[in-house]
Amino acid sequence: MIKKWRPFWSYNVEKTERWLSSSAIDGKRLIDVKLFSRIFVFEETPTEQMEYQVIFDKSKNNLATGLVSSGWEDSVVKGNWKFVNNRADPIHAYPSREGILKRNRVHLLFLTGLSFLYIFQLIPFVIAMLTILFSPDDANVVASPYWSLTFLYFIQVIGVIIFTFYMSRNLLAFERKFFKTSVTENEKKAAGETFTKWRFAWMYAPDLLENWLSKMAAEGNNLVCISKVWPAFTFEKGTPKLVSYVQDFQWKTNPEYVEIHKSADWKLRFASKSWLFKYSIWEKEYELGDMKPRFTYDSTEKKAQVRRVVIASSILVSYLLGILFMALWMQFKVNPPFDQTILHQILIVFLIISSLSPLFIFTRTFLYALRMRKSM
């Protein structure tokens, strides 16, 4: 028997499947998986060409009839996991990826919450290190055997944060590939003159953004792309069009979410990189005299959308203000006002100015909620 350790195999199932398939070609057939220890057990067999797929299914049902008729068969079944293989060529049907997506989302949610907590806890440590670095005369470093524990804890915190980013990146790539969440690109690159408009904090006032984009299209300014890094919108001068835009926010999107809207001729023009806050912008052209297309005309669904935006903004604002107030408190605690250097005073001014950003987000969201309440 051959044993291989793969600690993160379930967070990149595509890579795991390719590895299992190549192992079969090398004469190693999967016979067992130790879920707790993350160990794969193989036995040596003649070289065999087969494709592996990983399934996560809490219902623990047998393989669907359509999959069995396409040549899929169980290789290893452990808990909610199924490792299936197929020797057919070509393969006409593949197992669903939805179970893996939902499972990894739950894990990522837990890790994201833990990372936010760790970042909050790191503030006193970072401020203390900055104090030692820039004001060594004011610092009093005491030797202690517990410094090693502090260092190990710090390494563990950094490891969790890095792993969270790794998982988030893999999950977004997984969604784009298997659930068609990629943004709709223009059929051809902009040939005319382009220009860029900046809209700061646009996601906290969806109604204003939608009206502005529709107005730009009516003036002949066709949307080319939206930056995923900066609040920048690039346009090209062209023919005036009637275009309806919808900015949508979802806590999480089902695999069918994008497919349903695309089947109704909506084009996805923007999808946020963050998996936690799912902001998206959709567009759809319509003719003069037609009703302006929307995702929904129901007031109850509109209220639910407003509620989601307000709650998400409140969580973000609370977290940012918590970090800023913690940093300010540490500054005054470690360095009393009568004993502050110029550097400390500059840092305090910077923190106070930074607090304006979450307050601006809160104000913009609050005004959006008021406008929507009056319109419904």
Per-residue pLDDT of the chain (376 residues; tens, 9 = 90+): 899 999 999 999 999 999 999 999 999 999 999 999 999 999 999 998 999 999 999 887 788 888 999 999 999 999 899 999 999 888 888 998 888 988 888 888 888 888 888 877 777 677 666 666 665 555 565 666 666 777 788 888 888 888 888 888 888 788 777 766 666 655 445 566 889 999 999 999 999 999 999 999 999 999 999 998 889 999 999 899 999 999 999 887 676 788 888 889 999 999 887 766 788 999 999 999 899 999 987 888 889 999 999 998 998 888 888 878 877 777 676 666 555 667 667 777 777 777 788 889 999 999 999 999 988 7
Query: How many angstroms separate the CA atoms of 271 and 171, rounded?
Result: 14
- Report which DSSP code applies to 207: H
Q: Residue 133 is encoded by which pair of tokens? A: 């670095």
Directed axis angle between helix 342-354 and helix 356-375, to 10°?
A: 10
pLDDT of residue 141: 59
The H or E element containing residue 90 is none
The H or E element containing residue 308 is helix 299-334
Query: How many angstroms separate the CA atoms of 282 and 251, rounded?
Result: 17
pLDDT of residue 278: 82
N-terminal to C-terminal alpha carbon distance within the chain: 67
The H or E element containing residue 113 is helix 98-134
**Are the C-beta atoms of residues 92 and 70 closer than 8 Å to each other?**
yes
pLDDT of residue 353: 79
pLDDT of residue 188: 47
**Are the C-beta atoms of residues 376 and 302 closer than 8 Å to each other?**
yes
Query: How many angstroms separate the CA atoms of 16 and 72, rounded?
Result: 17
Q: Residue 327 is encoded by which pair of tokens? A: 């940093």
Q: Residue 8 is encoded by which pair of tokens? A: 């993160």
CA distances from 16 to 51, 88, 179 (A): 11, 20, 19
pLDDT of residue 127: 67
Q: Strand, coil or helix: what is 353?
A: helix
Q: Strand, coil or helix: what is 37?
A: coil
Q: Strand, coil or helix: what is 93?
A: coil
CA distances from 348 to 123, 343, 345, 361 (A): 14, 9, 5, 21
| Count of residues making up the chain | 376
Per DSSP bridges, beta strands 232-237 and 221-226 are: antiparallel
The H or E element containing residue 271 is strand 267-271
Which residue shows structure tokens 């057919």? 88
Query: How many angstroms separate the CA atoms of 92 and 35, rounded?
Result: 30
Query: How many angstroms separate the CA atoms of 29 and 50, rounded?
Result: 10
**Are the C-beta atoms of residues 2 and 44 closer than 8 Å to each other?**
yes
CA distances from 47 to 3, 4, 85, 90 (A): 18, 18, 14, 19
pLDDT of residue 187: 45
